[in-house]
Amino acid sequence: MNNFFKNLYPLTKFYLVLTLVISGFIIPYNIYGYLLFVICGIFAFLYGKLGIYVKRAFLSLFLLTLVIFLAQSLLFVSDEVFAKIWIFVIYKKGLLKAIAVTSKLWAIITPITLLILITPAKDFITALEKKGINPKMAFILLLTLQMIPEMGKQASVILDSQRSRGVETEGNVFVRFKALLPVFIPLVLGSIVNTEERAITLEARGFSIGEKRTILDELKETKNDKIIKMILVIFLILCIAWRILWVLK
């Protein structure tokens, strides 16, 4: 089972995630948006990424969900009161609105988090190139996907070097804010240098020649990809039928 999913074509993984996101908006029950966290967690487990998936998806969404619930349920005033805690009044209409908003948020973020974890950016861009996307556009997209992780690694290196020079980076909020400047300036300058190096790399690789590029790592779709695509189409059709029946009910 693990090999069945791990060997899927990058675009098949993208179609899988896209289908899950779309289903989150088609299926009429808000609970499904939260269930997608569990469903994507199963796929993350099959790829051996469950721990980092939970850390990224749950921890990043929990605080945001809590803020939305507090803002909507307390500030969205309506006639029907759901509960009253001390001086705080929770309104039912606001609570339902918060559930609707956050469920859609979970339906979007959790599948995208899964896609980032299980699909190497390089393989995904290579698959797009094989579908006919412009190589320059593919390279820019690859840089965009790699920018945040690369800047995070570079910032960590700069932070360690500043610590070795005696710069205080830990303590209260003011100390940490003061430490940002010695990190921020080298990070920006380093990003500018990296941009110039990548421009030279583009020329060295012959991106301006206009000829068709060859791909070193050949990716091929297999029979498993066709099976998954068929299952996804059937699943979407069932979701649409479910939605229609729910509307007509």
Between 131 and 238, the more confident residue is 238
147 pLDDT tier (thresholds 50, 70, 90): low
What pLDDT, on the 0 to 100 scale, is given for residue 143?
A: 67
78 pLDDT tier (thresholds 50, 70, 90): low
With vertex at residue 204, the alpha carbon angle to CA 201 and CA 207, rounded to the nearest 5 degrees, is 85
Q: What is the pTM of this model?
A: 0.74
Mean pLDDT, to the nearest integer, of 93-121? 86
- Helix/strand/coil percent split, the chain, to 5: 75, 5, 20
Mean pLDDT, to the nearest integer, of 113-117? 88
Mean pLDDT, to the nearest integer, of 133-141? 69
What pLDDT, on the 0 to 100 scale, is given for residue 236?
A: 94
Arithmetic mean of pLDDT over the chain: 78
Tokens read off for 11 = 């675009």
User: 167-226, pLDDT tens digit by residue?
Assistant: 666 666 666 666 666 677 777 777 666 666 666 766 676 666 666 666 666 778 888 889
Nearest-angstrom CA–CA distance, 145 and 41: 22
